Amino acid sequence: MAPILTGCESLTSFFSKDDPILDEPADKLYNEGLYLLNEKRDIKGAAKKFDEVERQHPYSDWARKSLIMSAYSYYEAGAFEDSIGAARRYIQLHPGSPDAAYAQFLIGSSYFDQIRDISRDQDRTEKAVAELQEVVRKFPNTEYAVSAKKKIDIARDQLAGKEVDIGRWYMQKRDYTGAINRFKAVVTRYQTTRHVEEALMRLTEAYMTLGIVDEAQTSAAVLGHNFPDSPWYKDAYNLVKARGLEPSENKKSWISRAFKII
């Protein structure tokens, strides 16, 4: 379906109590909704038609079809909360339907499309990961699972970036223990993201500053072993070398154990 262009009018104003609608056949309402959605790009009229199907014919198959179309329409319009609400209702009413996978994907995508930059709160990012993981878990053999996995990777990278950003802030405040906890989260929870290289270097820096040389050497060694061409490894290596030491992995370190798990 083609994208829908909307104005600034609130979606809640679509449904006027002063605009009564007489009962019409369900298929007629549904097809009118499709026409308004696809041909007229009229999200206001389309949403109204789809919702009328559910209101006038709540137990019909057309109501089921209209509900998923409402969820889709709201998503395309950027009315994410409305899309989430319609999609959740669809899953509750029709959990065994073939379109249940798509409804779950719409929920995850609605949160995903609201992800903010790493300087902002990442609650929607966490919700996106959780909801998209439900797509993969419940509907692993669908096309939506494939798309969900790609979005999960992007969202997890965002969460890792947030941890690194906070860790840097702690480093600036000379709160090295707080920084280590943030970088540790990246190494243990987001190891497959692009931020793990910096996290390992920052761990080397923080541990070296605290005088915990063994852990500093380990984080540098793990970084060099897994990402030998990384510029972050060069920085970590120089930090250790400046103290007359070499990167050396302690197999009992939590850092070594974390990478063994992966």
Give the pLDDT of residue 261: 62
- Per-residue pLDDT band for 19 (boundaries 50, 70, 90) equals low
Query: How far, in Å, CA of 233 to CA of 243, rounded?
Result: 16
The share of the chain scoring above pLDDT 70, in percent, equals 91
Report pLDDT for 87: 97
Identify the helix (H) or strand (E) that includes residue 67.
helix 61-77
Q: Across residues 4-19, what is the average pLDDT?
A: 45
| 3 has pLDDT over 90 | no
| Alpha carbon distances (Å) from 118 to 132, 166, 243 | 20, 9, 34
Give the whole-number percent of the chain exceeding pLDDT 90: 78
Q: In this predicted structure, what is the pLDDT of residue 42?
A: 87
The stretch 84-101 carries a mean pLDDT of: 96
Which pTM value belongs to this model?
Answer: 0.84
Q: Does the CA dihedral 6-8-12-17 come out positive or negative? A: negative
16-30, 56-70, 230-244, 248-262: segment of lowest average pLDDT: 16-30
Q: In the chain, what are the domain boundaries?
A: 174-262
Tokens in use for 124? 């929607």
pLDDT tens-place string over residues 30-56: 999 999 998 888 887 788 899 899 889
CB 74 within 8 A of CB 116: no
* pLDDT value at residue 260: 73
Query: Is the Cβ–Cβ distance between 207 and 198 less than 8 Å?
Result: no
Q: Is 102 or 44 the better-scoring residue by pLDDT? A: 102
